[in-house]
Amino acid sequence: MITFTDEEMHYFMGECAYIAMQNAQYWPKVGAVVVKKGSVVGRGYSGHIDGTRLPLHAERMALDDAGRQAKGAALFTTLEPCTKISQNQLLGSCCDYIAEQGIDTVVFGMLDEHSHGFCPGEGIAKLQSHGIYVVQYAKLNTLMEEKLSKPLTDRTVVRKWVNRR
């Protein structure tokens, strides 16, 4: 179990939030960083698999960016990692991939309350079943407003996304 001070959690989650808002290609805007020995070794955002419209989740992108350095590291992500493979997702669930890569600790910002067929908290339980320490950074929306003058859960965006489903 890797532990972080409040200041460290604020800093690394701020990195995730900034990456999400600057780079994410679809909603929800998710950012993730892999942290090892106090340094960011991998970054990712919700994007697409090269040359397709198929989603590539932020956690997977950050873990791939970190490579072998992911083993024994911590993963920070703005949204609870997914547990299921959707019909338009070729790759496995983020929770399984996180466990396969040997992540020790996951710090997430918000529960995934909008994913179809997914119960909030399911990702936490799955990660814990793999022996991964999981903690929530509950100040994410405050951090987003402070860093970017915009909360991650902008209500107009949420309404548009929910209505599309």
Q: Which residues are catalytic?
A: 59
Distance between CA 15 and CA 159 in Å, rounded? 26
- State how far the Cα of 147 lies from the Cα of 18, in Å rounded to an integer: 8
For residues 31 and 15, is the Cβ–Cβ distance under 8 A? yes
Cβ(109)–Cβ(102) under 8 Å?
A: no
- 42 Cβ neighbours under 8 A, 6+ residues apart: 33, 34, 62, 63, 64, 65, 66, 67, 69, 70
Nearest CA to 133 out of 102, 112, 94, 110 is that of: 102
Instruction: Describe the strand order of the beta sheet including 105-110 as a list of residue ranges.
Output: 39-45, 31-36, 74-79, 105-110, 133-136
Q: Are 140 and 110 in contact (CB under 8 A)?
A: yes
